[in-house]
Amino acid sequence: MKLLLGITILVLLLALLRPGFGFRAQRPSDYGNTDPAFDIRKHLNGRFISEGMIYGPTGRVVSRFVAEMNGSWEGAKGTLTEDFAYAGGGTQARQWMLEVGENGRFTATAEDIIGTGTGQHTGATVQLRYRLRLPEDAGGHVLDVTDWMYLMENGTIMNRSEMRKFGIKVAELIATIRPAPDGASEAQP
């Protein structure tokens, strides 16, 4: 009986760590024929409001946020600023530097990103992978992050991110990104 339980647990762990299982099974090519076509220079340009939640390793919500975002582009190079306001009263700012390459590929850097993130926009989706260093007050851990953004017909972007450490999922983020209404700041969780 113990052997059977041990084998079952091992199989489940291997399935969860396998790149081809669940969330990690997605590939940009899976969405090549989807519409509307997601172009980061068009759809991440201007002012946006993002509202979301972060789930911890147990599946419970550990944080909620509202972020004001602003994207601007000059040719193939863009900047995307994010100003987060968390429900607990904390704030965070990030400035992404983006550069579009060929065939929908792009790179992304930011101060708290280790190295360069790599992305691909295909069909109605964008995938971005990067290594994120958490702030010291959050432990300073380095997480491997995969973001998937899905463009909806009304211009809203649905974002789902998975954060892993040593291959094990430690957090997940779900958020919407939508054009900001004219004239008002909404960054209040």
Residue 5 lies inside a defined structural domain of this protein: no
* CA 176, 92, 58, 172 torsion-angle sign: positive
For residue 94, what pLDDT is reported?
96
For residue 27, what pLDDT is reported?
74
Q: Is the bond into 179 cis (omega within 30 degrees of 0)?
A: no
Residue 12 lies inside a defined structural domain of this protein: no
Within 13 Å and on the Cβ side, how many CA atoms surround 52?
A: 19
Residues 41-53 pLDDT 10s: 999 999 999 999 9
**What's the domain count of the chain?**
1
Residues 105-153 pLDDT 10s: 999 999 999 999 999 999 999 999 999 998 887 778 899 999 999 999 9
- Whole-angstrom CA distances from 178 to 52, 64, 70, 158 are 12, 17, 11, 9
Residues 70-99 pLDDT 10s: 999 999 999 999 999 999 899 999 999 999
List the CATH number of the domain containing 160. Answer: 2.40.128.20
pLDDT grade, residue 21 (50/70/90)? low
Domain interval for residue 84: 26-179
Asked whether the predicted pLDDT for residue 183 surpasses 60, the reply is: no
Residue 32 lies inside a defined structural domain of this protein: yes
Residue 4 lies inside a defined structural domain of this protein: no
Residue 2 lies inside a defined structural domain of this protein: no
Residue 10 lies inside a defined structural domain of this protein: no
Which helix (DSSP H) or strand (DSSP E) does residue 45 occupy? none
Residue 17 lies inside a defined structural domain of this protein: no
For residue 136, what pLDDT is reported?
83
For residue 100, what pLDDT is reported?
97
For residue 135, what pLDDT is reported?
82
**Overall average pLDDT of the 45-68 stretch:** 96
For residue 142, what pLDDT is reported?
94
Residue 189 lies inside a defined structural domain of this protein: no
- Whole-angstrom CA distances from 26 to 145, 148, 184 are 14, 9, 36
**More confident: 173 or 33:** 173
Residue 176's beta-bridge partner residues?
51, 158
Average pLDDT of the chain is 88
